[in-house]
Structure 1
Amino acid sequence: MSRQLPQLSQELFLTDSGLETDLIFNKGVDLPEFAAFPLLSDTKGRRALGDYYREHIAVAKNADAGFVLEAPTWRANPDWAARLGYDAASLAAANRDAVALMVELRDEADSGKPMVISGCVGPRGDGYQPDDVMTADDAAKYHQAQVDAFAEAEVDLVTALTMTTPAEALGVARAAKRAGLPSVVSFTLETDGNLPDGTTLADAIASVDADTPPAYYMVNCAHPSHFADRLIPGMQRLRGLRANASRRSHAELDEATELDDGDPVELADDYARLRAALPQLTILGGCCGTDVRHVAAIAGLST
């Protein structure tokens, strides 16, 4: 199992877009509890996941870029899985199976550029608000089972996406370290550029770095207009970006009944401006409302 992280170079790496919103709104796939991992349990669902990743891999190959295969396990933690009828054993099996699918896709792609497999850890509670506030110790204990399942599979790293508090992010970093895996922390930000609990991005990074530094940081599930002025030059630990297509707040998105997919070209321009200020932003993808069109535009390709 590889532990090298080629995305730490200055080469461009792409990743996928808004998996759940793309499947629900663009492809008509039902996702109870906004969870994609149950699709692994049947042939039709597995095919839908495979097709989704393949179209993004094709963009990366056309852009001559590396690719981060983020497993569809954002909701695959005990609280959310229990609502879907999973016990501890079946949940661990699902997490391992999600990684197995990523391995299949990597081997099938046979890309000339590096393809990295990441085990995705989502927040215990709602991704838009810190409704289950934990200490870092509690978060490490809570997320350890999922991280351990990844460690038993062929992952290169663990990525904590949509973290709403520094404490939970730190907990995932600690769990990954205990499992012998590199970690990445990605925070979500509100329209004021701060985490949902009010912590500034700079303070959140400093807080986690002071205890268990991950390999790098990302921002996801927020539009660039919400945080561009917070990404100060010199913030070298920030290397990845997965922005929302919509300029709406999290509260507005929670209430929305239709998809706001924004403008792929406009979003790509926002990315270009951010990368001009922070050239180390080389790991790029999308989040809610985005799809393969947005990733292609960000990579400088037309669809």
Structure 2
Amino acid sequence: MLMHTDNHLPFKEDKSGNTERAFPLTDYVIPPSNALRETRSNTITFRDDNGRLIEWKQSVRDIVFGMPDDERMGFDSLQAIHPEDRDVVREKFLNILNLGSEESVEARFIPDGGSCFEWHMLHGRRIMIDGNPCVFAIGIDITERKQLEIEKEKLKESRAGLNAALDIRQIGFWELDLRSNKVHRTLTHDRIFGYKTLQPHWTYENFLDHIIPEERVMVDNLFCEAVTNLADWNIECRIRRHDGEVRWIWAVGGYQFDKEGRAHHMSGILQDITRRKLAEEERENLQIQLQHSQKMQLIGQLA
């Protein structure tokens, strides 16, 4: 472990631009700064031109590699990198040594030789130790961020698959920000309202403007009541499309909550149900006609 309490790294740049150790390396420890303090999140290593460890921070020994110092000395550090990431890490390492460039890379570590891995952001630069080129590298644990990125990507793919399935059934998806009234939605949603392309802006007020005047107040009241009581919204109403045609729609939505339990988004689906409503009206008319016919037939029998 590096053994010193100075606030600067134990290196100085020579006239050629290389960094050379100013004092014996064993006299130095990690500087007591916030960026390099002794935590699991940060690792510091020194590697020779073959990638073998020659000095390291205590967390590297105890946590990342899990070996005592005498076993760690000369260890090929690439063995601790996930097999799928070794080539890119090796490439960055050679660029540092041969070109003198500073390089950064995100890679997976396998702590203690186990089966699980952690993501680290590695940043390295070339230094000179006793006249020999070496690589000084700092690693920051970014596992939590990478996991969030992976989950977001999975959610994105899942939503894309859902949207594709909804599009096949001509169902639009919408998501309303309850704080700004802005709505994220799919192209099918806007097509239901008579638009050929996704409109650049859409709010709850745009939705209300498409509701036919005689049903607009009723729809707005039911929506406000649902939001106030955090109840699911489920409504059938008529709209006037962008092209002037009147159609029936069905809209349903639920809520997304923050950690404090406050609703911040409402999302749901929208479908044109005009064909079903017309079929229902036709059945009702036929039922009325049938009842009228039966009534007239009964009157004729009584006459």
Q: If the length of structure 1 is used for normalisation, what is the TM-score?
A: 0.21
Larger RCO of the pair (alpha carbons < 8 Å, separation 6+): 1
Higher helix share: 1
Q: If the length of structure 2 is used for normalisation, what is the TM-score?
A: 0.21
Higher strand share: 2
